[in-house]
Structure 1
Amino acid sequence: MRKIFVRLDSNRTPRLAQLLQVGGRGGGVALKLYLALLWRCSSEPYQTSKPHRAWATLLGLEEPEGKGARRVAAALKTLEGLGLVSVRRVPAEPNVVQLLDESGDGSEYAPPSTEYARAPKGEVGDARRARNVYFKVPSKLWLEGHIQSLDAPGLAMLLILLAEQADIRPVWFSTDVFPQRYCISQKSRAAGTLRLVERNLLRVERQPLSEFPGQTSVFDRKRSRKLYNLAGAAAEGPAPEAAAETGPKPARQARPARLKTLRRPTRPPSG
């Protein structure tokens, strides 16, 4: 999945944030359905014609033959409106759903790994690579039923943490930068984090901060930041490394200058 799905790209609001703004539980179903489409339709021709009841069953929706199928139909309309899929309706047959780019700009879908590798050298290639930075959603999250049962805030935080590689090293977020970068409220962030902790998919630790790095003083203000590290089925990477900064780096404060000791002038020898 391309990182631009979860993180602000220029002035375009991430599609993840827009799905969270859909009323009721509709946004959560649409998000799960899009993840399912990426999982099941990631090879050419990047389309599917499975009936709604099949998707409802995969997503664990109640009454897949009736209410669940209708929720899938509504979710497809939401995804179509956001430019994430196109739907070709066939009389008396299941609709043909065509996967589109995660940015929501309506462009055709292509695997981000392929597009990243094919990018030429130079500035044009740099921009193309930046647009195709991607992350993987571990299949265990599907197989163990986490994606099916997580609510929208929980899924949103899971995708954000995967995008920031919290599965291989702890990360931290600046309180001011987070809503600007992901366009998600503090309430949704807190609720989503709690859901992941409850499922043992996330570990949260507090890291104390010193006002003067490398020094300790009784006059330091007690400050700390939260470190997030994915766990369980959400972590399939190597052992955690040093914490990655996903917010602005704190300004390094200069050490207090030492006062030089003034020496008394030496008296000239008496003649």
Structure 2
Amino acid sequence: MKTTSPAERDIQAVKATGRDTRTEILRRSIRVNVPLRKTFVQATRTAASRHGPLSEFVTGRDLRGLKAYLMIVAACSNGTDGWSTRRDSAVWARMMDINLTAEAQGARTGAWRTLRRLQERNLVTCTRSGTDITVTLLREDGTGAPYERPLGKTPEDLYLQIPTTFWTKGYDEQVDLPALALLLVVLREKNWSKFPSDKAKDWYGWSADTHERGLKKLLELGLVERRQEFKKAPLSPTGFTMSYQYQRTAQMRPRKPRKQAAEQPTGSTGKTSGINESKKSAAAAARQGR
């Protein structure tokens, strides 16, 4: 039986996990919410088809690719490096959790193949230099156009926001493909919207069964909540109709950016400290004169 040396156990104890890697990427991106154009989920009303690039991940059963793409958006969309991010292929593999099911070289290869699929869908470009892989964002609609930060001024430029807690709290590890797709659908819409499964094929490009399974999983995970809506229907047997409305729960609502301190803390500079001391001296002099 193979034994593990104390040194090997020490290494395993401190070795970064996939979640550690994703959390560090998010920390470096200096974001609390990740912007994603709504056209990734669903095209605008004027388009010939309402299906967005998301439908290809769902019908292609590419959960790994979808998770990787969302993390790339998170890593690149702050624009600090020209909408690009460069990492060793082993880091890409760990970010995607491929290292959990493959040996080192196989994990590196799996990461590259995943990124190449994203490139084939015109969502990114990727290049290799030695073991490093550089990935550059393209526009989320799959047209291959250069990426620009969404500002929300036109229908094509509207965006949803994914709170970084989706990754840091491990929800990304719990969702399956239907749930992740439906989470993006729910985040795309206003609170308490309807998501009828009979419209799923036309609106999003996947089956009614996938649609229903996704919503069910989100309810189980507590990422959305549901309520009933009743409407009068004089010609129905019951005299009314009932439908469900959904909204994101608190943990999936956009976070407010961390506020920068308006002023430096007292005592952080000689000026602030000196002003406070002057005020104290004036108050003491006033008390003595009473």
Instruction: Using structure 2 for the length normalisation, give the TM-score.
Output: 0.67
- Unaligned stretches of 5+ residues in structure 1: 118-128, 239-271
Q: 1:174-220 deviations in whole A, cap 9, x for unaligned?
A: 444332111121111111112211111111222222116xxxx9974
Size of the aligned set, in residue pairs, is 214
2:171 to 146, 162, 165: 146
* Identity, % of aligned positions: 22
Q: Match for 1:58 among 95, 103, 118?
A: 95
Q: Which structure features the higher share of strand residues? A: 2
Aligned equivalents of 1:21 and 1:146: distance in 2?
Answer: 22
Q: Which amino acid aligns with 2:38?
A: K
3-state secondary structure, aligned to 2:226 = strand
Deviation at 1:67, TM superposition (A): 4.6
- Shift in alpha-carbon separation, 1:176–1:194, aligned structure 2, 3 A: closer
Conserved? CA contact 2:197–2:212, under 8 Å: no
Per-residue displacement from partner, 1:210-251 (whole Å, max 9, x unpaired)? Answer: 116xxxx9974342001112114212479xxxxxxxxxxxxx
Pair 1:75-2:75 in alignment: no
> Any stretches of 5+ residues in structure 2 without a counterpart?
1-35, 257-290
Aligned to 1:258: none
Shift of 1:21: 1.6
Higher helix share: 2
C-alpha distance 67-208 of structure 1, shift in aligned 2 (>3 A): farther
**Where in structure 2 are the equivalents of 1:36-47 lying within 5 Å?**
36-42=71-77, 43=79, 44-47=81-84
Amino acid at match of 2:66: L
1:190 aligns with 2:212: yes
In the alignment, the residues of structure 1 paired with residue 199 and residue 186 of structure 2 have an alpha-carbon distance, to the nearest angstrom, of 15
1:60-103 per-residue CA deviation (whole Å, 9 max, x = no partner) reads 4424735543332221121111000111232x231221111001
Cα RMSD of the aligned pairs, angstroms, is 2.4
Q: TM-score, normalised by structure 1?
A: 0.71
Quote the residue 1:33 is aligned against.
68
Query: Structure 1's 95 and 209: CA in aligned 2 closer, same or farther, altered over 3 A?
Result: same
The equivalent of 2:194 in structure 1 is: 172
- Inter-partner Cα distance in structure 2 for 1:30 and 1:158: 16
Q: Match of 1:106, SS?
A: coil
One-letter amino acid matched to 2:193: V
Quote how far apart the aligned CAs of 1:130 are: 1.1
| Separation in 1, partners of 2:108, 2:209 | 30
Asked whether the 8 Å contact 1:200–1:232 carries over to 2, the reply is: no
| C-alpha distance in 2 between matches for 1:49 and 1:236 | 27
- Between 1:64-73 and 1:198-207, the stretch displaced more is 64-73
The answer to whether the 8 Å contact 2:126/2:134 transfers is yes
| Structure 2 contact 199–208 (Cα < 8 Å) conserved | no
| CA displacement at 1:136 relative to structure 2 | 0.6
* Cα distance between partner residues in 2 of 1:218 and 1:28: 41
Q: Counterpart of 1:235?
A: 253
In the TM superposition, what is the alpha-carbon distance from 1:39 to its structure 2 partner? 0.4
Tell me, in whole angstroms, the C-alpha distance in 1 between the residues paired with 2:193 and 2:75: 30
Question: Alignment partner for residue 111 of structure 1, among 110, 131, 149?
Answer: 149
Distance verdict in 2 for CA 1:199–1:85, change over 3 Å: same
Runs of 4+ displaced beyond 4 Å: 217-220
Q: Which residue of 1 aligns with 2:54?
A: 16
Instruction: Compute the displacement of 1:57 (Å).
Output: 2.4
- Partners of 2:128 and 2:237 in 1: how far apart? 68
